[in-house]
Amino acid sequence: MREAAAIAPDVCPRLPRGVRLVHNEAQGGWVLLAPERVFKADAIAVEVLKRCTGEATFRAIIDDLAQSFAAPRDRILADVTTLLRGLADKKLLEL
Amino acid sequence: MAETGKALHNPLGLLAELTHRCPLGCPYCSNPLALDPRQDELDTPTWARVFAEAAGLGVLQVHLSGGEPGARRDLADLVAAARSAGLYSNLITSAVGITADTLRQLADTGLDHVQISIQDNTPESADRIAGYAGAFARKQALAAEVVRLKIPLTVNAVMHRANIDHLGDMVALALWLGASRVEIAHAQYYGWALKNRAALMPTTDQVKRAAAEVETLRTRHRGEIVIDAVVPDYHARLPKPCVGGWGRRSLNVTPAGKVLPCHAAETIPGLEFWSVREHSLADIWANSPAFNAFRGTAWMREPCRSCARRDVDFGGCRCQAFALTGDARATDPVCHLAPEHDKVAALAAEQHDEPYTYRRM
Ligand code: SF4
Ligand code: SF4
């Protein structure tokens, strides 16, 4: 896998219209609904996506996650960059 | 206790065939040859009940399809009903019959996504395939409107011998229209498409070139547009898990209210389908004979029964097995392990340039 390109600290990631994060008991938890596709969202993805409101900056999201999970900021930054880039490539997120 | 391999899953998707009426006449249409007439169509409250029952079963997305859903005057009410049931709504349209006004209404009601079909990259050829003069221009106009309203757009391109060499240009067109996703779908030979099979069938060379081109285009347009494509059945070695497994992931409601495990299921003789007019969706999902006929793996014969892939592809498509072997329990002959696999290869090599039989009511 190639390394994900960096995300500028001041962009505000958001779910585009047509992509919704919903909780559904019958399907066993959180799912991301997208055009003709449904993705199961794991616990980490849910924590990240809930923060992608279009209001918080990428920098603030990383700070918040590092604090909430008491994890090294560098690692969070790398993991979340990979996750969000992957979602953006699939048109599930706007950066 | 559920029988082994027959455990009941929650369906994810509902294909709502709102009507069979359609101004276009695509020869690859997978609707049945015997189309439901308008007077048999379910009314608005019944569809609203079906959407609510679907959501109760765990369904997340409803695909509003047809025919041309724009032929329903209550389309905005149906989108509203889907929305209030909590469903993600996807409009699958030919674009002919949906005005800019209707679309704005649908957007206000909360429509989540629009899929527009295009038949080819030039108006002459596209309109010839659709059997409708001026269709291409109307598709472009509606696509522009969808993008202007910021609703995500998928372009659906059904490929066959007449247009498969234009795949690259069709993806370029989708990009130009502002689509975020393009679906390269190959004609599936049910209904009208089966009638037109020899006129539609691409050559093996065409299919190979198209597959290579998809790979190139995916790399070139990464992040710009999502390109979804699958190998066409008759040219594959392994079958697709049709509808994600019979009675496992999705259900299909016909214009008149019959509930099918897949849109072609009525081509299999002897199956008993139940209607939403007489039963709740939950009752149908769990108990209708048609849904239980091929649920799980217990119905399988060899070579599927002892195959490692039986929980991956579920033995392929039942409708295709029936269409090609006369036995709905047979291994899908697309599979290279199927005794009748050579039949598929022979059909894939059969091309006749005869005029299309257009889909008409
Ligand atoms: S495939 Fe063509 S003819 Fe069939 S419903 Fe769609 S637009 Fe109409
Ligand atoms: S034998 Fe049956 S289960 Fe095995 S790959 Fe072929 S179709 Fe699938």
Reported as a single tens digit per residue, the pLDDT across B66-105 is: 999 999 999 999 999 999 999 999 999 999 989 999 999 9
Q: Which site among B112, B153, B184 would you substitute to test the A interface, given the most A Cβ atoms closer than 10 Å to its Cβ?
A: B112
Does B29 contact ligand 1 (Cβ within 6 A)? Answer: yes
DSSP A15: P
Going by CA atoms, what residue is nearest to atom 7 of ligand 1?
Answer: B94
Residue B359 CA: which ligand is closest? 1
Confidence band of B124 (pLDDT split at 50, 70, 90): very high
Is A6 within a domain? Answer: no
* Through-space distance between the first and last CA atoms of chain B, rounded to whole angstroms: 45
Nearest CB among B60, B150, B181 relative to A24 is that of: B60
pLDDT at B22 over 90: yes
Does B22 contact ligand 1 (Cβ within 6 A)? Answer: yes
Which residues in chain A (37-66) have CB-CB distances under 8 A to chain B?
Answer: 38
Q: Which site among A15, A20, A33 would you substitute to test the B interface, given the most B Cβ atoms closer than 10 Å to its Cβ?
A: A33
Q: In this structure, what token pair is assigned to residue B182?
A: 């393009």
Mean pLDDT of A53-76: 94
Is A79 within a domain? Answer: yes
Kindly report which listed range (A15-29, B103-117, B254-268) carries the lowest average pLDDT score. Answer: A15-29
The packing angle between helices B100-109 and B135-148, to 10°, is 40
Contact A20 B150 (CB under 8 A): no
Q: In whole angstroms, what is the distance from residue B307 CA to residue A88 CA?
A: 38
Contact B152 A89 (CB under 8 A): no
Exposed e or buried b for every residue in A5-15, given b needs 16+ CB within 10 A? eebeeeeebbb
Confidence band of B350 (pLDDT split at 50, 70, 90): confident
Count up the domains in chain A and report the number. 1
Is A95 within a domain? Answer: no
Q: Cis bond leading into B67, ω under 30°?
A: yes
Nearest CB among B13, B58, B112 relative to A24 is that of: B58
pTM attached to this predicted model:
0.90
What is the pLDDT at residue B6? Answer: 55
What is the pLDDT at residue B90? Answer: 97
Is A2 within a domain? Answer: no
What is the pLDDT at residue B279? Answer: 98
Is A15 within a domain? Answer: no
Contact B113 A38 (CB under 8 A): no
- Give me chain B's average pLDDT, please: 92
Confidence band of B7 (pLDDT split at 50, 70, 90): low
CATH of the domain at A34: 1.10.10.1150
pLDDT at B5 over 80: no
Among B31-40, B54-63, B295-304, B349-358, which range has the highest average pLDDT?
A: B54-63
Is A61 within a domain? Answer: yes
pLDDT (tens digit per residue) in A16-59:
999 999 998 888 889 999 988 888 899 999 999 999 999 999 99
Is A68 within a domain? Answer: yes
pLDDT at B324 over 80: yes
- Give the residue numbers in B contacting A (CB under 8 Å), as ranges: 10, 12-13, 57-58, 60-61, 63, 86, 88, 90, 112-113, 115, 150-152, 154, 180-181, 183, 222-223, 225-226
Residue B338 CA: which ligand is closest? 2
Residue B157 alpha carbon to ligand 1 centre in Å: 12
Distance, in angstroms, between A38 CA and closest chain B CA?
8
Q: Which residue has the higher pLDDT, A26 or B171?
A: B171
Is A4 within a domain? Answer: no
pLDDT at B8 over 80: no
Cβ–Cβ < 8 Å for B94, B117: yes
Domain residue limits at A44: 20-89
Kindly report which listed range (B82-86, B265-269, B271-275, B352-356) carries the lowest average pLDDT score. Answer: B352-356
